[in-house]
Amino acid sequence: MLDRESTFKDPEIVSLLKSRFIPVAIDQAYQRRQKDTEGDFYRKIAGQGPRNNFKGTTQGLYLATASGKLLGYNNNRGGDRIRRMMKKALAGFEAPAAAVIKRSKVDARYNPKPPEGGLVVRVQTKVLGGYEETEDRWQKIFQNALSRDNLWVTKEEQDALAAGRVPAALQKRIARYHLVDNTRGEPPMWKADEIRSIEFSLKSGRLSGSVHLETASGERGFKASLLGHVETKKGRITRFDLVARGEYWGEGTYTRGAPKGRFPLAASFTLADGSDIADGVPPQGSRGWVRGYLRQ
């Protein structure tokens, strides 16, 4: 989100990406592990950079030719550095005679698809207050950040919702993987035994409930009320809107900088329609273990 509000908000960088490059966004935690054609091509590119130990993160921004020759790498944020890297790469660029890469196989573990007949629900989270005032550019971005994730719903759960029921597995999935503070980075997901209480009720299309999540130490938690609406047509969900709002406290290893004490946080859920390319991104909580994410 820092890059989105800095590097990729720079007009010149956006213009260059649209006119001189083919931008690709991936989850390197998948590609560096994939045992297929796509994974091989990514490792060929990343292996020429400084992060060439594929047992660890290869996070960063890469510029490469269609043949896989690395032209530039940077893992810093801010328009100036990235703009210079892009211009330097273009200055010495000559289009190679690259052969078309034929995908011979697909590593299914790292190419998950939404459940057939199910639903994709967009999830956005925001801290609504509690931060101390700051003049730091990067902290301001964090403090105003709006996160984005997707919730996957199985066909069986879709059918249950259409019949007026909220399956226990869906309740737990929402709580564990989507009622998190992911506005400053990758959050720790809730463990099953950290669900202190959870209640969902669906009556005449009105969805309501409450949830209490808390670690054993009490250092991190969330108490929230839930309110939403579900509409159906011919057995299919046509509307799924839900808001969870309450008091959150604590932070994770990669979400440092939370407001002190308890602070207001809200998460919104709305049915995806496929119009946004991000609708196809797997839920963060499913990373590497979709079956476990869906099972609950």
Walk along the chain (296 residues) and give the pLDDT tens digit of each residue: 778 888 999 999 999 999 999 999 999 999 999 999 999 999 999 999 999 999 999 999 999 999 999 999 999 888 899 999 999 999 988 887 888 888 888 999 999 999 999 999 999 999 999 999 999 988 999 999 999 999 999 999 999 999 999 999 999 999 999 999 999 999 999 999 999 999 999 999 999 999 999 999 999 999 999 999 999 999 999 999 999 999 999 999 999 999 999 999 999 999 999 899 999 999 999 998 899 999 87
CA–CA dist 287, 284 (Å, integer): 5
Tell me: do 189 and 210 sit in the same domain.
Answer: yes
Domains identified in the chain, total number? 2
Cβ proximity of 73 and 64 under 8 Å: no
- The tokens describing 174, both together, are 């929402």
Quick check: is 1 in a domain?
no
Check residue 94 and give its pLDDT: 84
**What is the CB neighbour count within 10 angstroms for residue 193?**
8
280 Cβ contact list (under 8 Å, min separation 6): 114, 274
**What is the CB neighbour count within 10 angstroms for residue 269?**
22
Cβ proximity of 202 and 166 under 8 Å: yes
Tell me: do 144 and 289 sit in the same domain.
Answer: yes
- The last residue of a domain, from among 76, 109, 142: 109
Quick check: is 37 in a domain?
yes
Neighbouring-strand partners of residue 126:
266
> Residue 195, Cα to own-chain centre: how many angstroms?
22
What is the rounded (10 degree) CA torsion for 22, 28, 30, 35? 80
Tell me: do 232 and 282 sit in the same domain.
Answer: yes
CA–CA dist 109, 38 (Å, integer): 13
Tell me: do 130 and 26 sit in the same domain.
Answer: no
Tell me: do 258 and 278 sit in the same domain.
Answer: yes
Quick check: is 247 in a domain?
yes
Cα-based distances in Å from 99 to 66, 75, 90, 102 = 8, 29, 21, 9
Cα-based distances in Å from 131 to 127, 179, 246, 257 = 9, 19, 16, 9
Check residue 220 and give its pLDDT: 99
- The last residue of a domain, from among 109, 133, 168: 109
Tell me: do 43 and 180 sit in the same domain.
Answer: no
Tell me: do 15 and 75 sit in the same domain.
Answer: yes
Check residue 230 and give its pLDDT: 98
Quick check: is 85 in a domain?
yes
Convert the pLDDT of each residue in 100-126 to its tens digit. Answer: 888 888 999 999 999 999 999 999 999
Tell me: do 131 and 269 sit in the same domain.
Answer: yes
Sheet harboring 262-271: ordered strands across?
Answer: 147-153, 119-127, 262-271, 236-249, 221-233, 206-214, 195-203
Check residue 99 and give its pLDDT: 83
Quick check: is 240 in a domain?
yes
Tell me: do 226 and 147 sit in the same domain.
Answer: yes
- The last residue of a domain, from among 75, 109, 143: 109
Quick check: is 103 in a domain?
yes
How many residues are given for the chain?
296
148 Cβ contact list (under 8 Å, min separation 6): 122, 123, 124, 278
Tell me: do 245 and 150 sit in the same domain.
Answer: yes
Tell me: do 97 and 240 sit in the same domain.
Answer: no
Residue with tokens 């309740």: 171
Tell me: do 19 and 136 sit in the same domain.
Answer: no
Look up the domain containing 220 and give its range.
114-295
